[in-house]
Amino acid sequence: MRSLFLTAGLLLAGCSHTSSSTPAASAEKAPSSQAIVDAPDRTEADRALDAGRHPAALLEFVGVRPGMKVAELVAGGGYTTELLARAVGPDGVVYGQNPKFVLELFAEKPWSERLARPVNQKVIRVDQELNAPLPPEVTDLDAVVSNIVYHDAVALQADRAKMNAAIFQALKPGGVYVVIDSSAKPGTGVADTQTLHRIDEQVVRDEVLASGFQLAEESRVWRNPQDARDWNASPSAAGARRGTSDRFALKFVKPR
- Grade residue 13 by pLDDT with cuts at 50, 70 and 90: very low
d(CA 224, CA 183): 10
Q: State which residues form the domain around 55.
A: 8-253
d(CA 229, CA 182): 8
**Range 72-100 average pLDDT:** 97
Number of domains in the chain: 1
Residue 3 within any structural domain of the chain: no
Tell me, what's the pLDDT at 11? 36
Neighbours of 89 (CB within 10 A): 20
Q: Is the Cβ–Cβ distance between 68 and 50 less than 8 Å?
A: no
d(CA 110, CA 84): 17
Tens of pLDDT, residue by residue over 182-227, are 999 999 999 999 999 999 999 999 999 999 999 999 999 999 999 9
Residue 1 within any structural domain of the chain: no
Q: Which residue has the higher pLDDT, 90 or 6?
A: 90
Q: How many CA atoms lie within 13 A of 165 on its CB side?
A: 8
Stated as kind and residue range, the H or E segment containing 179 is strand 171-182
d(CA 45, CA 140): 33
Q: What is the DSSP string of 19-60?
A: ---PPPSS-SPPPPHHHHHT-TTS-HHHHTTHHHH-HHHHHH
Residue 232, pLDDT above cutoff 50: yes
Residue 2 within any structural domain of the chain: no
Residue 35, pLDDT above cutoff 70: yes
Residue 79 within any structural domain of the chain: yes
Residue 8, pLDDT above cutoff 80: no
- Grade residue 172 by pLDDT with cuts at 50, 70 and 90: very high
pTM of this structure:
0.88
Name the nearest CA neighbour of 9 among 228, 218, 193, 249.
Answer: 193
Tens of pLDDT, residue by residue over 128-170, are 999 999 999 999 999 999 999 999 999 999 999 999 999 999 9
Q: Return left, alpha or beta for 78; rule: phi > 0 is left, psi -120 to 50 is alpha, else beta.
A: left
Tell me, what's the pLDDT at 28? 52
Domain of residue 118, CATH code: 3.40.50.150
